[in-house]
Structure 1
Amino acid sequence: MLESKYLYYFCLNYDFNRHNKAVTIPSLTKVDLLKIEMLLPPKSTQLAIVAELDKLNEMIRLKKQQLEDYDQLAQSIFYEMFGDPVENEKGWEVKKLGEICTIFAGGDKPNDIKQILDKDYKYPVIANGDGSKGVLGYTKNCKVKEDAVTIGARGASIGNCRIVKNGFTPAVRLLTLIPGVFLNCSYLFYIVKGLDYKQNGAGQAQLTVPNIKIETLPLPPLPLQQQFAARIEAIEQQKQQVKDTIKDLENLLASRMQYWFD
């Protein structure tokens, strides 16, 4: 007897592409599907395998939930210290981003670029895209040496923000904001990620430098911004530990899937 969850895990692990004969759109025929062979252990063994893999998946889910909880904590700290930046109930001076940041868009991808990070080619070239998907490669030199905030300006990543440290080169119209002397990078990040990009250009083909320069923000005292940044840094360190644990769990899950089904 075949347990449905056992079949589910088998399918997750199985490489169906080996049956693809199409040149353009991948496809799988019923005939090919019926030819697939799988080991069918006793029901008790199937259930034990499912229980093991379910437990690993649940541990991964809980760790990912922990990351979301840390993000919510960081957001609550922001509002605790600064209030709603739209309402500006604390009455701080309001500035346009273009007045207190250096803002520009990335250009063409550099010619001197490698796909593999090494000791010489250590600076990422970053374009529009989430996480590692936005990294086009690595160069010896970087255009931006300061800590900066980037904003996705095109496609599905429009409005996506991140802090980039230790040098990088923006490309393909990626918007880059380098904070001035009265602005902390962490505070800037939480301001720009809360902007309504649908109202300010996200319905168009792309965001532009003029779009961003006219956005306004309250400017709290720099020491208060720095206190906020220190609290966020502590949270980020905790998040990194959780991310490392997730990676280890995912590797273990993949290894156990391979053990049981390959």
Structure 2
Amino acid sequence: MRRTLGEVADFYGGASLPEGEAFSNQSEGYLLLRVSDLNLPQNSVYVTKSFQWSAKPGQKSATAPEGSLVIPKRGGAIGTNKKRITTRDCILDPNLMAIHPHKELDVRFLYHWFRTFDLLDISSGTTVPQLNKQDLHPLQLPIPSVEEQCRIAEVLDKADELRAKRRRAIALLDELAQSIFHQIFGNGKNAPDWPVEALSVHLTESSRNGLSPSTGGSIEEKVLTLSAITGAAFDETAFKVSTFTEHPPKSKRVNHRDLLVCRGNGNLHFVGLGFFPRRDMPDTVFPDTMIAARINYNALDREYLEYAWRTKFVRTQIESGARTTNGTFKINQKVLNSLRIPIPPIDIQKDFGHRIRSLEAAKETQKKHLAKLDELFVSLQSRAFRGKL
């Protein structure tokens, strides 16, 4: 049996929040919820805390009862697809709304059903996305017995828990890598007998900017985007196809010996971020928004340099050297070349690199397992809401 969401749930729109106090696990009263509260690690599924709390309720239309599903309803926050379950009465700000199921609908079942689609796909509004009762009310969902809903939710909960454990294992491997780095090298500048030298001393050739695509060109090439080097690791899938009037030279193509560095961005924290590609990519060009620095591997190990590059010691130099025009922060080759890097003995660097590569191999194994679990979860979702689980 299928019913519309409006037939089996009540809707609560957010409004102005009352004046609150810092939440410190008070057992009574109301959590004051903003979109930012949904980002708290403790609130990944169930809302158990918030930054602020109130002993008194807010306006009736803004108070969501315990056991409601909370989602963003306005602006870019809709695209984050956050869906959370309240564990106590909450007061919602204007950017949130709540859906409280009737007795014939289990909230965990509702939560998993909502996870099968993108909130932007059902939003209204042109320039600013909006979600309201009119968008949600006509949505149809299957309504098996409450007992069957609970069984389905439990199966999906367990499958999701397995995925969460894999993600945590990957995060722990990242933490272990950082721990090993700090154990050996401290903050990147902790041994007085290790020289601290300009990066330019250890380049095999001059650093160089990438190449911008050409307007009206007819030669198609893959071009890296900045997201290839501004995440947690080098992402070779982050590229677009652009055109050039001439075939880009070999010096503008992705090479595993080049540290590729973000040359400019509106966010200062992205400027200067960099990684080595994991392999040569002769069919891919790096853009003018990146600088390539070809490293002398006899003095610098790539894994060591990538981790040293993210230390406060190096980041402070990058951000101090960045210049801004029209809201864009930039560094140039001169700044890059002058960055001072601690140079431990190469055998210590290589030992660290060996450990990191072992951890990376273990992480890749975990990622493959996670991918299989993701596939399984999607399959279970599909079967669950077609009545075939």
Which TM-score band applies after superposition, normalised by the shorter structure?
A: 0.7 to 0.9
Summarize the Cα distance change of 1:16–1:83 in structure 2 as closer, same or farther, 3 Å threshold.
Answer: closer
- Picking from 203, 208, 211, the partner of 1:104 is 208
Q: Whole-Å Cα distance in 1 between the matches of residues 338 and 147 of structure 2?
A: 65
Question: How far is 1:90 from its partner?
Answer: 4.8
Q: What does residue range 124-139 of structure 1 map to in structure 2 within 5 Å?
A: 125-129=223-227, 130=231, 131=235, 134-137=238-241
Question: How far is 1:63 from its partner?
Answer: 1.4
Question: How far is 1:166 from its partner?
Answer: 1.9
Matched, 1:241 2:365: yes
Question: How far is 1:238 from its partner?
Answer: 0.3
Q: Which residue of 2 aligns with 1:187?
A: 304
The letter of the residue matching 2:171 is: E
Q: Whole-Å Cα distance in 1 between the matches of residues 271 and 189 of structure 2?
A: 21
Map Cα deviations across residues 90-129 of structure 1 (whole Å, 9 max, x no partner).
5112210122125333221376445xxxxxxxxx632311
- Picking from 289, 295, 305, the partner of 1:173 is 289
Matched, 1:151 2:267: no
Q: Whole-Å Cα distance in 2 between the matches of residues 188 and 228 of structure 1?
A: 11
In 2, are the aligned partners of 1:83 and 1:90 still within 8 Å (CA)? no
Q: Whole-Å Cα distance in 2 between the matches of residues 66 and 223 of structure 1?
A: 29
Compare 52-61 and 74-83 and name the one that shifted more: 74-83
Q: Whole-Å Cα distance in 1 between the matches of residues 160 and 320 of structure 2?
A: 39
**Gaps spanning 5+ residues in structure 1: where?**
115-123
Kindly indicate which of the two structures has a greater share of residues assigned to strand.
Answer: 2
Q: RMSD of the TM alignment (CA)?
A: 2.9
Summarize the Cα distance change of 1:96–1:15 in structure 2 as closer, same or farther, 3 Å threshold.
Answer: closer
In 2, are the aligned partners of 1:19 and 1:28 still within 8 Å (CA)? yes
Q: Secondary structure at the match of 1:217?
A: strand
Identity %: 21
Matched, 1:91 2:202: no
In terms of Rg, which structure is larger? 2
In 2, are the aligned partners of 1:105 and 1:175 still within 8 Å (CA)? yes
Q: What does residue range 1-262 of structure 1 map to in structure 2 within 5 Å?
A: 1-14=104-117, 19=122, 22-87=125-190, 89-101=191-203, 102=205, 103-109=207-213, 112-113=219-220, 125-129=223-227, 130=231, 131=235, 134-137=238-241, 143-153=253-263, 154-156=265-267, 157-168=270-281, 169-180=285-296, 181-194=298-311, 195-196=314-315, 197-201=318-322, 205-261=329-385
Q: Whole-Å Cα distance in 1 between the matches of residues 303 and 114 of structure 2?
A: 43
In 2, are the aligned partners of 1:94 and 1:216 still within 8 Å (CA)? yes
The letter of the residue matching 1:249 is: L
Summarize the Cα distance change of 1:202–1:231 in structure 2 as closer, same or farther, 3 Å threshold.
Answer: farther
Question: How far is 1:161 from its partner?
Answer: 2.9
Kindly indicate which of the two structures has a greater share of residues assigned to helix.
Answer: 1
Aligned residues: 252
Question: How far is 1:21 from its partner?
Answer: 6.3
Q: Whole-Å Cα distance in 2 between the matches of residues 5 and 132 of structure 1?
A: 37
In 1, are the aligned partners of 2:210 and 2:291 still within 8 Å (CA)? yes
In 2, are the aligned partners of 1:127 and 1:135 still within 8 Å (CA)? yes
The letter of the residue matching 2:193 is: G
Question: How far is 1:23 from its partner?
Answer: 5.0
In 1, are the aligned partners of 2:254 and 2:277 still within 8 Å (CA)? no
Summarize the Cα distance change of 1:16–1:191 in structure 2 as closer, same or farther, 3 Å threshold.
Answer: closer
Summarize the Cα distance change of 1:148–1:62 in structure 2 as closer, same or farther, 3 Å threshold.
Answer: farther
In 2, are the aligned partners of 1:184 and 1:225 still within 8 Å (CA)? yes
In 1, are the aligned partners of 2:271 and 2:329 still within 8 Å (CA)? no
Question: How far is 1:217 from its partner?
Answer: 1.2
Question: How far is 1:22 from its partner?
Answer: 5.0
TM-score normalised over the length of structure 1 = 0.82
In 1, are the aligned partners of 2:236 and 2:277 still within 8 Å (CA)? no
Summarize the Cα distance change of 1:20–1:79 in structure 2 as closer, same or farther, 3 Å threshold.
Answer: closer
**Which protein, 1 or 2, shows the higher relative CO under an 8 Å CA cutoff with sep ≥ 6?**
1
Summarize the Cα distance change of 1:36–1:201 in structure 2 as closer, same or farther, 3 Å threshold.
Answer: same
Q: Which residue of 2 aligns with 1:118?
A: none
In 2, are the aligned partners of 1:125 and 1:135 still within 8 Å (CA)? yes
Q: Whole-Å Cα distance in 2 between the matches of residues 60 and 198 of structure 1?
A: 37
TM-score normalised over the length of structure 2 = 0.57
Question: How far is 1:209 from its partner?
Answer: 2.2
